[in-house]
Structure 1
Amino acid sequence: MNLIIMTILKRLALGVVTLFFVSLIIFSAIQFLPGDFGEAVLGQAATEETVAAFRRELGLDEPAWRRYLDWVGAAATGDFGTSFSGRASSGVDRSRPVVEMISSPLKNTLFLAGMTAIVAVPLALFLGITAALWRNSIYDRVINAATLTSISFPEFFVAYVLMLFSTLWWGLSANATGINDADASILDKAYMLILPSMTLTLVIVAHMMRMTRAAIINLLASPYIEMARLKGQSSLRVILRHALPNAWAPIATVIAFNLAYLVVGVVVVEVIFAIPGAGKVMVDSVASRDIPVVQACALIFASVYILLNLAADIIGIVTNPRLLHPK
């Protein structure tokens, strides 16, 4: 079998093993959370018998290893269980499946992440390539200063500054709660997410741009680049044809990390702009000790990280097969 295909299959198998250990960590960490869900719902006035019966109903009286096997086995089939949030001491069960609870917020988060990535990734590559092409020029210094400035400010500060100027000058709405409206089209949702997308773009472009610039400049001193220049090729062709393919591995890695951040690290932005996203759901579930929702969100976020890093590894290998044969 082709060496590249074999390496990709090995990386995929490693990703599955990694996800298994991550699931163990997630389950174990949640077990060590202080307090008890049964007591939190029933209140301090509940008797021990009532709490025990409530825990038995939820399956929390089972041994930890059995609960883990039941959870991970069901999660492998896409069943994350039922939320605890609808349980009540009155005996009326208004709980919902976890998948139903997180599907809509996860779609909103992925829509915001995709909208940001469509703008941020090409912009970062363009700025990084052009800064490397004209390094040490005024253009390069301005780009570096601008990206360093944007990366120095916390995202909530960038969000509030954009909200201030956009509402005063451009008339954009800073509230994205209407994204769940059934009548809202894709364009309407994109319009509501302009400000959150701009905030995230300013936050992540600097990382990707600076890595692109550094990776290309590092390769420009290589002998094969000098040979390409001696053959009379233009600087732009040298970078795009010879330097960029060999720089894809570190660039793809930093892009993967930033795309993962767009999915799992946007809680602050979601709260500021009132976006009903997956990050906000997870934070609320931790506060209410809704264990199935917390476990599902954590496992999904971990899967996103692993998949994006696998994609970065595969892109690096495919674009530069020499990585299969390290010196």
Structure 2
Amino acid sequence: MTYGNTIQFGYFLTPDATDTTEVLRRAQVCDRAGYDLIGIQDHPYQSRYLDTWTLLAGLAGQTEQVRLFPDVVNLPLRPPAVLAKAAASLDVMSGGRIELGLGAGAFWDGIRALGGPTRTPGEAVRALEEAIHVIRLLWSGRRGVRYEGEFYQLNGAHSGPVPAHDMGIWLGALGPRMLNMTGRLADGWVPSSSYAPPAALPDMQARIDEGAAEAGRQPSAIHRLYNVMGRIGDRPSAEPFTGPVAQWVDELTHLALEVGMDTFIIGLPEPPGDQLERFIAEVAPRVRDNVAPTGP
């Protein structure tokens, strides 16, 4: 089962504040080597991490081709109106290389420690849905925008700048309501193998497709990204994403052709050594070949 979207590959870059030189080096390796995306987790309460938006802006100026996105934004600490402007501004400045990953929130003690709200699961889901509407309104280019929600309001806001390209909103969704929302409203889904193992993906995909059907959308409108945590090794392993190149190729090919995932954001050992180069040179081309249509 595929949704017809082009296969892509990205790197899950840790925003390590203790070695900014290495962070920049990895991003530039990805840019030169031909990775499609770099995803950066957003945990503002984590003292050993750089601020994600500041890092994205810095990397946009130090790379040329690779697209960048927060993987995913901690929404309770990022007001959506200002977030929309920040994302659109960076997209304009980078020549259309920014996407927006959104999450409802996690690690609530850390959020509370920074003065953010504590929300119940239901509140977090409702706030995320409102945020999607607010962000899209503020990317519309319209003046005098209004929105009255339970959590967020716009009172005659002038939107802009408009993003340089049709920027995607990708949701880090796991639960049934979030998956349904992804199908109804989002441009992409970005779970992590740590929380959504491969065996869980088909049922989750079905919930997204149900949400898309409810909204009259085609399931192919939603990109299916997967944060894959593992390492390239020398010996086969029963553990997913931990083994030689051939095992990686087989596993990712299966996820693309049988499960419908179209983008793989790879989290490799820290530091990755030559694994960044090995993955894009040895694994990615073989997966692309396996997934490519074979004829009319």
TM-score range with shorter-chain normalisation? under 0.3
- TM-score normalised by length of structure 2: 0.21
User: More helix per residue: 1 or 2?
Assistant: 1
- TM-score normalised by length of structure 1: 0.19
